[in-house]
Structure 1
């Protein structure tokens, strides 16, 4: 493929550009991969993780708030606040959950949604049941049935104690009083231990209850042995006490049995067995989703990092390849072009030194340097031919110059004899030429005077014609001014009519103002302000009338001046017409005079032509003789100069031969 240097450079830069574009495409592909990973990370992975963490926190807040409500909800003010917080947490979770629908697949989202619905249903059940009687059956049975019966039994014992306290007998009566008191105290302590057991469920509280109840049984048995000491009323109280005691003991056993079962607290059991596992399952699902998305985020991050690394690697590799390619191309082309230029430069130096005997240079390629090398070869061959031809012709010219010098000497001698003869003829012709010149000069003077008169008349004619055009233009200007003044007169008349209308309006306004003043005077104090306005209006009407009168006077003055101007313009029109007619007459007279002068000028020109012809003929003969003489002199000079030049040429040819010896042709 044949390319010029510029083509090679363009091809090199095109190759580098293609290399750069290919590298840019790979980099763009890597950047697109980074963008895809980043988009997926920002639009899917991170939002899913954030939403999952938020839902986990909401679950923890839901359980914590529910526990607080279970503990403190019996207080209505605190319970309502806790319940409101619980509902707020549930509502915020309901609002946050749909955001996962666009981030998860359908099955995962439905699984999380169903698990949350289960948790929410359990939370609602627990919150509704936590402070109802169904929640703590042992507590309800104790408070509603067992405790009131025990209180009645204690009241009976208190009645016995009160009755016995008034008995002043000693001995067995004192012992009975003490038994009443111990029985009351043991039963009261047993009730207190039962309450502690119901609250805390500890075995030590149950043991204390049983110990107090056993002691109470001993005291009751001993009292039963002393029933004979009781009065009838005390015996009735004692019988009622035993009846209440028989009712209390089975109920107390039921309370203990309910409290010792695993379901003694329904909401706690539901929370432990249903809610907490459901929350754990939902937390596990969310944690799995979070872990999965975090793994995907890690993969996306690794993809971003690897893509960025590949982009950096591509940039470094493409830069290195681009630099190496640029260096290789520039080095190769620089060395190739420099080597060929050195060869051409060396040959040019040899030619400049006069050595044209070198063989042709080898032409490489078809670029500009190849053309330059070919041109150098052609120039070398042409110079060789020229040097050889000049050397041969210089020798021939030298021989011819010697013969020419001899011929010039013979010609110079003959020319000298002819010059003497021509000088005598020239003197006689000079005398004839002088007389012919005088006649011609007189004719020229007369013709010149006539021409000057003709020019002056023509100038006058042109001036009259310009004057006539000026008068015509003046006439048109006067007519235009007359029309404008007439229009001005008409417009001033229109102004007069307008002022008449204004004056009529002013008179009517004056009458109206007068009537208004009269009406204001009739109105008395109420019309005073209106009277002032009426006076001002009447004053304005008076001023308007005065102004219109002044305008009318000015308009009449303008109309009078306009009429005078129209009269003067008419006179100017007449004078302009008369001036135009006189100018036309003068122009006609000058035209006739010009015709006569032209005829006289024609006759003088014929005379001048005859005199000039004679003078010219004489001068021509004299000129011819002078020319012949000068030509003869020139021939003599040329012969002399030719001899000198021939001699110089002969010497220069000899010098040229010496110079041509410096060129090497072999």
Structure 2
């Protein structure tokens, strides 16, 4: 079995998988073939035998319906009924012929086709007898027609129907043959599948027996050699020496090469360890001196950092005070700007008020003019009322002269005179009211003119205050600019001092880290010396020659 030992793992694993795959493909192919056979038989049964048998049964039914229609035609009491039954008979007979022909076509069997042809001939003979029966009935010879139909006609009908019975029997025979064929195919397929499965099982058992031995045995040997190497006295001269040419054999060769390289490296490491032990002791002494110098430098940088921090705090305080002054100046500037805006809005409002007073004065003037026009109209109304009063008085005098006939006219004249008097009184009251309105309008016009003049003076004063406020704002802005420059200079100085402070702090931190590192180097040097001594002892455990 040397060839199996030297076979690569690709083939050791691939061949069994390929064999199992082949067996699986064979089993699947056989199963698909069996399913195809069953499907074909099922198609024959469902697509040929069942439809063909159904057509034969339907043809037998149509044949009986045709016979019943013939008998009803013989028993019909009038020509119309006889004609209808003959049509039914002909229709059913035609359907029977078509169904038998379709059944023979579906079955696809020569014997069934022969029976269908014979059925067609027998139906032709029965149709000929039916034609003779119809002729006898049409001639009025009903008894002879009945005798012919029940004699030769019935015998010929049975002969034709016998062909259908034979076709039904043929369908049953074909179904039995198909069932037997299906059962035989099933038995053959079971035998074939069982054989294939047994072969596959045998191959699996062989693979389970042979493959683990061919793979695990060299692995176990290699594991035992490596375990001996790791738990022994460190003999690096031991080799695995696996003769196999597979992946495990090549791995064993690489491990042997590694052991040879490791043997050489350990030999060199043993020599280097001795030199490292001496150098580690010298490094520990130098590290202790370096740590002492770094500690002194760290103390000096701490003192410089403290002084720089105090200077930074002083500059930051100055910058903070200047910043507050700049903020106060800015706040004053903003308030002055707000006040200027307020004054500007006040000027706008007062000017708008003056314009409103002008428009109101114009309205009062129009009101005065309208009141004067109303007074003129009232004078006209008053004159009309006086004239009406005189006319009413004259009418009353004339009515008194007329005596009894002018009494009604006198009453009307009295009412007119009364209304004229009331009109004069109302007109006088309206005139008084209009005079008061005119007087108030003139006073309002004078007050509005005075208010307009005062609003103009107010605008002038507010604008003067605005100009003074702009001067103050300019001064405050100048102060704010100077304080901003001072604050900027203080901030730059503070930034410079902070940069110096950061550099000193960084130097201090570096000194601290250097001191810590020096201490760590000293500790590491001591540890390195100890490890070098320990490594020297460990190297002594390996046997390199």
- Shorter chain as denominator, the TM-score bin is 0.3 to 0.5
TM-score for both structures, normalised by structure 2: 0.45
TM-score for both structures, normalised by structure 1: 0.38
State which structure, 1 or 2, has the greater radius of gyration over its C-alpha atoms: 1
